[in-house]
Amino acid sequence: MATETLVRMANQIATFFHSMPEAERAPGVATHINKFWEPRMRAQLFELIDQGGASLDPLVLEAAEQIRRPERVDAR
Amino acid sequence: MTLIQETDYGTPASRATETVTLTVDGFAVTVPAGTSIMRAAVEAGIEIPKLCATDMLDAFGSCRLCLVEIEGRNGTPSSCTTPVAEGLVVRTQTERLKKLRRGVMELYISDHPLDCLTCAANGDCELQDQAGVVGLRAVRYGYDGDNHVFPTTRDGADNFKYMAKDESNPYFAYDPSKCIVCSRCVRACEEVQGTFALTIEGRGFGSRVSAGMHESFLNSDCVSCGACVQACPTGTLMEKSVYEIGTPDRSVVTTCAYCGVGCNFKAELRGDELVRMVPYKDGKANRGHSCVKGRFAFGYASHPDRILNPMVRDKVTDPWREVSWDEAFAHVAERFTAIQAQHGVASIGGITSSRCTNEETYLVQKLIRQGFRNNNVDTCARVCHSPTGYGLGQTYGTSAGTQDFDSVEHTDVVIVIGANPTDGHPVFASRLKKRLRKGARLIVVDPRRTDIVRSAHIEADYHLPLTPGTNVAVITALAHVIVMEGLYDEAFIRERCDWDEFQDYVDFVSDLRHSPEALESVTGVDADLIRGAARLYATGGNGAIYYGLGVTEHSQGSTTVMAIANLAMLTGNIGRPGVGVNPLRGQNNVQGACDMGSFPHELPGYRHVSGDEVRDVYEEIWGVPISSEPGLRIPNMLDAAVEGTFKGIYIQGEDILQSDPNTHHVQAGLAAMDCVVVHDLFLNETANYAHVFLPGSTFLEKDGTFTNAERRINRVREVIAPRNGLADWEVTQRLAQAMGLDWSYAHPTEIMDEIARTTPTFTGVSYDLLDEVGSVQWPCNEKAPLGTPVMHIDQFVRGKGRFIRTEYVATDERTGPRFPLLLTTGRILSQYNVGAQTRRTANVIWHEQDILEIHPHDAEQRGIEEGDLVTLTSRAGETTLKATLTDRVSPGVVYTTFHHPDTQANVITTDFSDWATNCPEYKVTAVQVARAAHRSEWQEEYSEHAELSRRIIEREPIHGD
């Protein structure tokens, strides 16, 4: 998927959780991505995060350690 | 099989709980107080002659045929207008009554043609029946005098009382010469449909039914719902199909395949020729009413465009080659297996159809999970109500509307948000309007002044004409007013919701940035309107919210659904008749497709694939491991296809190229795949990019169930044999078998049994139960053996209701100097979704093309006049269409429908989407509008390409095939 689209989607999720109480923010983002993002999308997200994730909302980076890193991606 | 004749009780049922006992012709009968004598007599097994009475309408008392004698009372009152009373002694058949009735009937017949043998209503005419019932044997008056029957008088002069037949409506004819002026059609138009298009013109003997001000039916306000035709006791208003074919001789009760209301119909046939669809009075969603689509627009089933043979081609630039079913299935199995071998298990997937049955969608997701071994399954709910699933799941614990449609009869204040029920859900709209005419109050939140805002005898108390994209701001402002003014229902919240979360929500919503005044500049809605609407909803009695795609199809769609859920909890409007949160579902089986596990993250019954327990259930009966990872959603599939990791797709009954946003992107995704399999009725737009076409069957040609917006599981019954040879569930089964799966369903009832066995909310559902009780609303299980009309009665499905903060965030789609207007999209009564069905019926007479609505102010600035061809441009693309000038839209907002492929409104829409579900933001696109000299280059190219991709090489018939 286009990096731009992926970044926009991740940041949109972060934007929603920004308004939540502090303790729910990062876990909220991570749970959402774990529940709804297919491994290919999460792998691509981690590529960005591993490169520093400059374009990502800081909340996404904060949530990263709670996001499941795909073990292997079948379709690649 | 016989023709089902429903009992006509003459007048509506009384709702009273106390009963009275009377005797009719010596038989004692006990009925609810307020029942008419006519209805009580039917209960006692005695039919009193009648013409102007029917139980769909209030008593009128004009025909004077239903007279009775009551002991101790004077005269001969009409039994339809006289209520029962304790101890009444009624006689329905006396010498005096017989004489009176015969005299009345003689007068009727003296101004009615005697062409019964050649009349379209022959055998289906109450006038004919009643003439027989009263024993009319002669008419003494003759036709020499004034009459409405003959075009000329006996001496050859014009008869000015005669009116010619009106055949302007494509589906029914009005023959004034046969009218007995019983007013049933006029009353049906008012009471049942609520359009008030018909009236009685003239006085006395000159009285005649008239559409509007003596207009033709087509040019009047008539919406062609068919209620008048159904109500007419003579051949005056009659389906043209009955003129052409004759009367039907058998009927099958089934469910409409258009919108999410899910009306029940009697399909009336002669042999295997469908004569007409008549709304079924026992249908619990529609209660005997219908709209122009379900009632009349079924001609697509026999349209010459239907594809009846499977077809394949190597390249999408090749012409189609007809093949046998076996060859088609083997081809798909071979291609899909090869793709997976080369590109991995996750490189293929599928889309289930919200137009197919529960059983069929269940099979498609099963094929993908059991056969493809991944979760790459999605459904068109992705692009309509996926935010409903997410939002209501988060707040209440399940993804469904909380009420049944009957609930609206107990509602005092209705909020309609982002829905246009008179066009999109017309039969529900009629039920809503009926309640509004009886005094319920109405709040409409919509950028357009839709018909529900103001039409005959309906006027919204508040219309909040918000700027598209600001739903969250408006609804949070409503909550702000309710909290700040102390109008919330503390007792309800303390008992039913999480109190700490409520406190947190109060802190959030009390902030002045959520006040209507602070948000006025964002929402464009006058703060006083918001305050007034909030007070009305919070204090006006039972408050019910109905919403549509104007809520969900936004970047903040899911947040809006949560905001709506908050609002209902805040005011205690959950858990009893008359209240609730009610998503109006777009397609006939969107609810069902979601229930059946069509989403890539959940198995049937909304259970996430990561749950070991639910996977165990299916792994045991399917015998394969199920992936615990969520699969790709439709837009993700297209992204992955462009990227080269997604290569094959099986699309059941869904036209993503026309219905999904950003057409260019969908095209690119489809074009990048190696094997696109389209399973549909017609060579739809998506099929232009397909390699295999599997012909589908219509809802008339198969057994199954649809689940409507009320969670009501309705039976779909095979009315005629599948014209393509296989019902859709058989197509999927044969494909699964070709891929090596061991499936052997003999009938859809066995599929439903598997669903019931594995899904806790469906355990009580079976075809036997549905045949017995008609329909049930899930949950239907040990706790609720006959289903659940109202949800969350004592507690929410998730336990405590959860308040969630709903911060307004502006969409990234902004207007600016290049694109200064906001486009919002919607639909129209006569057309349905992408129009694949309705464009292939006479409904096109009402809507031949998509039209752009633009405010006169914006039009004038651009030199646009009524009917001009205009270019509509956004960041995503450009198209042309004709413009109409109207103040239904505010300045700065333009609107169009997406029913026609050559307009392709989705060339314009962007790929912005809901943050939680990727539901596309159809309802907000920044655009520019300008006068155009000719159609866009893209449209020309598209038409050319579509024509090329639809070439077919017919197959020689093979012996024994």
Q: Is A35 on the interface with B (CB under 8 A)?
A: yes
User: Which chain B residue lies closest to A12 (C-alpha atoms)?
Assistant: B915
Q: How confident is the model at residue B281 (pLDDT cuts 50, 70, 90)?
A: very high
Residues of B with Cβ-Cβ distance to A74 under 8 angstroms: 344-347, 374
- pLDDT exceeds cutoff 80 at B957: no
- pLDDT exceeds cutoff 50 at A76: no
Q: How confident is the model at residue B902 (pLDDT cuts 50, 70, 90)?
A: confident
Residues of B with Cβ-Cβ distance to A9 under 8 angstroms: 913, 915, 918
- Report the run of H or E that residue B52 belongs to, with start and end: none
CA dihedral B110, B114, B116, B118 (to 10 degrees): -150
Specify the pLDDT at position B786: 96
Q: How confident is the model at residue B661 (pLDDT cuts 50, 70, 90)?
A: confident
Residues of A with Cβ-Cβ distance to B807 under 8 angstroms: 16, 18-19
For residue B920, whether the previous peptide bond is cis, meaning omega lies within 30 degrees of 0, is no
Question: How far is B515 from chain A, CA to nearest CA, in Å?
Answer: 17
CA distance B484 to B511: 10
For residues B597 and B365, the answer to whether their CB atoms sit within 8 Å is yes
Q: Is A76 on the interface with B (CB under 8 A)?
A: yes
Specify the pLDDT at position B876: 87
Specify the pLDDT at position B369: 97
Residues of A with Cβ-Cβ distance to B812 under 8 angstroms: 8
- pLDDT exceeds cutoff 60 at B959: no
> Two tokens at B94?
């006396």
User: Which chain B residue lies closest to A69 (C-alpha atoms)?
Assistant: B629
Helices in B759-855 by DSSP H: which ranges? Answer: 767-773
Tokens 């057309």 label which residue? B831
Specify the pLDDT at position B390: 93
Specify the pLDDT at position B953: 87
Tokens 């969908």 label which residue? B666
- pTM (two decimals): 0.94
- Average the pLDDT over B775-784 and give the result: 95
- Average the pLDDT over B739-745 and give the result: 96
Which of B560, B510, B565, B566 has its CA nearest to residue B809?
B560
Question: How far is B444 from chain A, CA to nearest CA, in Å?
Answer: 26
CA distance B459 to B466: 18
For residues B232 and B678, the answer to whether their CB atoms sit within 8 Å is no
- pLDDT exceeds cutoff 80 at B90: yes
User: Which chain B residue lies closest to A15 (C-alpha atoms)?
Assistant: B809
- Average the pLDDT over B447-461 and give the result: 95
- Average the pLDDT over B518-535 and give the result: 97
Specify the pLDDT at position B956: 67
| Cβ density class B603-631: b for 16+ within 10 Å, e for less | bbbbbbbbeeebbebbeeebeeebbebbb
- pLDDT exceeds cutoff 80 at A1: no
- pLDDT exceeds cutoff 60 at B358: yes
| Phi-psi group of B597: left, alpha or beta (phi > 0 → left; psi -120 to 50 → alpha; rest → beta) | left
Give the DSSP per-residue string, B350-402: EEE-SSS-HHHHHHHHHIIIIII-S--EEEGGGGTTHHHHHHHHHHTSSSS-S
Summarised one tens digit per residue, pLDDT across range A26-63 is 999 999 999 999 999 999 999 999 999 899 999 999 99
Name residues 638-657 of chain B within 8 A of A (Cβ): 639-640, 642-643, 645-646
Q: Is B511 on the interface with A (CB under 8 A)?
A: no
- pLDDT exceeds cutoff 60 at A75: no
Specify the pLDDT at position B412: 98
- pLDDT exceeds cutoff 60 at B908: yes
Specify the pLDDT at position B961: 44
Q: How confident is the model at residue B208 (pLDDT cuts 50, 70, 90)?
A: very high
Cβ–Cβ gap A38/B343 under 8 Å: no
Cβ–Cβ gap B343/A75 under 8 Å: yes
Which of B467, B376, B171 has its CA nearest to residue B290?
B171
- pLDDT exceeds cutoff 90 at B93: yes
Question: How far is B647 from chain A, CA to nearest CA, in Å?
Answer: 10
> Two tokens at B784?
């609720």
Which of B150, B647, B625 has its CA nearest to residue B370?
B625
Question: How far is A59 from chain B, CA to nearest CA, in Å?
Answer: 15
Least CB–CB distance from A37: residue in B610, B630, B642: B630
Across chain B, mean pLDDT equals: 94
CA distance B332 to B317: 18
Specify the pLDDT at position A62: 95
Question: How far is A25 from chain B, CA to nearest CA, in Å?
Answer: 12
Which of B460, B396, B418 has its CA nearest to residue B895?
B418
Which of B745, B752, B785, B778 has its CA nearest to residue B766?
B752
Specify the pLDDT at position A35: 95
CA distance B344 to B646: 9
Least CB–CB distance from B915: residue in A16, A21, A74: A16
Q: How confident is the model at residue B486 (pLDDT cuts 50, 70, 90)?
A: very high
Name residues 781-820 of chain B within 8 A of A (Cβ): 805-807, 809, 812
CA distance B676 to B491: 56
Name residues 336-355 of chain B within 8 A of A (Cβ): 343-347
Cβ neighbourhood burial of B375 (10 Å; 0-12, 13-18, 19+): buried
CA B550: distance to chain centroid?
A: 16
CA dihedral B180, B183, B184, B187 (to 10 degrees): 170
- For chain A, percent helix, then strand, then coil, each to nearest 5? 70, 0, 30
Q: Is B601 on the interface with A (CB under 8 A)?
A: yes
Cβ neighbourhood burial of B810 (10 Å; 0-12, 13-18, 19+): middle
- pLDDT exceeds cutoff 60 at B752: yes
Which of B89, B413, B300 has its CA nearest to residue B837?
B300
CA distance A6 to A60: 12
- Average the pLDDT over B560-586 and give the result: 96
Least CB–CB distance from B346: residue in A13, A35, A74: A74
Residues 6+ apart with CB under 8 A from B330: B738
- Average the pLDDT over B904-916 and give the result: 86
For residues B379 and B361, the answer to whether their CB atoms sit within 8 Å is yes
Specify the pLDDT at position B42: 97
* Interchain CB contacts (distance < 8 Å): A and B: 79
Residues of A with Cβ-Cβ distance to B376 under 8 angstroms: 38
Cβ–Cβ gap A39/B639 under 8 Å: no
Which of B588, B587, B4 has its CA nearest to residue B267?
B4
Question: How far is B598 from chain A, CA to nearest CA, in Å?
Answer: 14
Question: How far is B641 from chain A, CA to nearest CA, in Å?
Answer: 9
Summarised one tens digit per residue, pLDDT across range B670-679 is 999 999 999 9
- Average the pLDDT over B697-704 and give the result: 96
Higher-confidence residue of B957 and B733: namely: B733
For residues B569 and B561, the answer to whether their CB atoms sit within 8 Å is no
- pLDDT exceeds cutoff 90 at B610: yes
Specify the pLDDT at position B371: 97
Angle at B621 between CA B620 and CA B627, to 5 degrees: 65
Which of B697, B712, B925, B957 has its CA nearest to residue B822?
B925
Strands B441-445 and B607-608: unpaired
Angle at A34 between CA A29 and CA A37, to 5 degrees: 100
Looking at chain B, the whole-number percentage of residues with pLDDT higher than 90 is 89
CA distance B43 to B8: 11
Q: How confident is the model at residue B842 (pLDDT cuts 50, 70, 90)?
A: very high
Residues of A with Cβ-Cβ distance to B608 under 8 angstroms: 35
For residues B684 and B836, the answer to whether their CB atoms sit within 8 Å is yes
- pLDDT exceeds cutoff 90 at B18: yes
CA distance A20 to A26: 10
Q: What is the ipTM of this complex?
A: 0.94
